[in-house]
Amino acid sequence: MVNHRPIRRLAAVLAALVLVASCSEQPAPSGSSASGSRALLEHDIVRGPFPWTDRDFAYDPDVVRFAVFADLTGGEREGIFEIAIEQLNMLRPELIVNVGDLIEGSTVRVELNRQWDSFDARAGKAQAPVFYTGGNHDLLGKEMREAWQDRVGPRFYYFRYRDILFLVLDTEDYPSARLEEIAQMRREAAAVAARDGWDAFRQTPYARMPEDTTGYISQLQSDYMVRALADNADVRWTFLLMHKAPWKDGDMRSWNLLERYLQDRPYTVFHGHKHAYLREERNGRDYIRLATTGGVFLPANGLAVDQLVWVTVDSEGAHIANLQMSGILDKTGHLPLDGDNTCLEIKDCFN
């Protein structure tokens, strides 16, 4: 009698191999699993086709996500910044930075304390830490500079979060005599704006002087930032946060030196001041001017919009997403803090 058992076993093994081969023709995305060890995606589908695309998951523990807000003063519109903080809490960034103009400014310390108390209370409602940057409304003047140093700390500094370097600059870093001279011109220009409007402001000596665009960075500050770059040469990205645009003055040696030390590393610049969005490319890098997060709309300067910026840093670089505040709704489909009744778009503010 012929023993058929070995033949049957061989047939069973071949059938199993065919089944395994057919299941591997359409693999699930990397990181998914139908069984075995835990994976990012688990399912019970044992063979294809699979009802999803075959792209890898974007999850990466090395990804850093943070947010940036723009000028909220310089004619602050009531309630906008509070809405922005609620929206940021919904987005859950790891940290929050900005480009300055956090208070309106004053020459009277009692009033400066009141303004800082107000900003600190509102910023303190953010779930993530908020790192301060000074603008001309915060730092342009002896009294404002002293209030900042007493209440906030250094006017310029750096910090490293994981393997990302942040340089926070003071673009009102004038010598004392020049600081007071420009501060007086700005006070006179602000009085014109309050009386005659922002079109008249643009014709004032302050608004027409180069420093209103470029600001100033001292050699002391530049040297400090160069040392920070040297001490953190191993970071994967560097972000510069400032209010004005010192590169617009091609002869500012302190800024030119800093750019020279930046040239061999990936970096991004965020600045503000003009209340209008603009993205420029310089040295092959993004130099991004933010619009407003509650400051007065100035459409004559360009794209005027209340915005937040969402930044994602991963192995491929820094990815920038501009978020218009009027489109960041809560789970009920409304803007937080009764924002539906607040002017967040220029077309609504001037109707």
Query: Average of pLDDT values for 211-221?
Result: 96
Name the residue among 72, 96, 75 with its Cα closest to residue 83: 72
Higher-pLDDT residue of 319 and 341 is 319
Average pLDDT over residues 334-341: 90
pLDDT band for position 21 (50/70/90)?
very low
104, 118 contact by CB (below 8 A): no
pLDDT score at 81: 97
**Does residue 136 surpass a pLDDT of 80?**
yes
- The mean predicted confidence, pLDDT, of the chain is 89
21 three-class SS: helix
- Tell me the pLDDT band of 350, cut-offs 50, 70 and 90: low
The reported pLDDT for the residue numbered 12 is 46
HSE of 180 in the Cβ direction (CA atoms, 13 Å)?
A: 5
Percent of the chain clearing pLDDT 70 (strictly above):
89
Question: pLDDT > 90: what percent of the chain?
Answer: 77
> What CATH number does the domain located at 64-349 have?
3.60.21.10
Q: How far apart are CA 137 and CA 74, in angstroms?
A: 7
Q: Among all chains, which residue has been given the structure tokens 């001037």? A: 350
Beta strands across the sheet bearing 157-161: 157-161, 164-168, 237-241, 267-271, 285-289, 278-282
Tell me the pLDDT band of 131, cut-offs 50, 70 and 90.
very high
Reply yes or no on whether the pLDDT at 14 is more than 50: no
Provide CB contacts within 8 A for 325, sequence distance 6+: 80, 83, 84, 87, 293, 306, 307, 308, 335, 339, 344
Within the chain, residue ranges assigned H as helices are 5-23, 80-91, 109-123, 136-139, 142-151, 176-196, 198-201, 205-208, 211-214, 219-231, 253-262, 346-349
Computed over its alpha carbons, how large is the radius of gyration of the chain? 27
Tokens read off for 351: 């109707």
Distance between CA atoms of residues 286 and 279, nearest Å? 7
Please state the rounded mean pLDDT for residues 36-46: 79
Placement of tokens 């990804």 in the chain: 63
Which pLDDT score, from 0 to 100, does residue 343 have? Answer: 83
Give residue 341's pLDDT: 85
Interval 321-334: pLDDT, tens: 999 999 999 999 99
Q: Is the model more confident about 190 or about 166? A: 166
**Tens-digit pLDDT profile for residues 90-118:** 999 999 999 999 999 999 999 999 999 99
In this model, does residue 19 exceed pLDDT 90?
A: no
User: If phi over 0 gives left and psi between -120 and 50 gives alpha, with beta otherwise, what is residue 347?
Assistant: alpha
User: Is residue 336 scored above 80 in pLDDT?
Assistant: yes
pLDDT band (50, 70, 90) for residue 38? low
Q: Is a pLDDT exceeding 50 seen at residue 235? A: yes
Q: What tens digit of pLDDT does each residue of 54-97 get? A: 888 888 889 999 999 999 998 899 999 999 999 999 999 999 99
Domain-wise residue ranges, the chain: 1-59, 64-349
- CA 145 – CA 78 distance, rounded (Å): 25
Which pTM was predicted?
A: 0.88
**211: nearest Cα among 134, 106, 140:** 140
Residue 338 is predicted with a pLDDT of 84
What local confidence, expressed as pLDDT, does residue 17 receive?
40
Span 151-167, pLDDT tens digits: 999 999 999 999 999 99
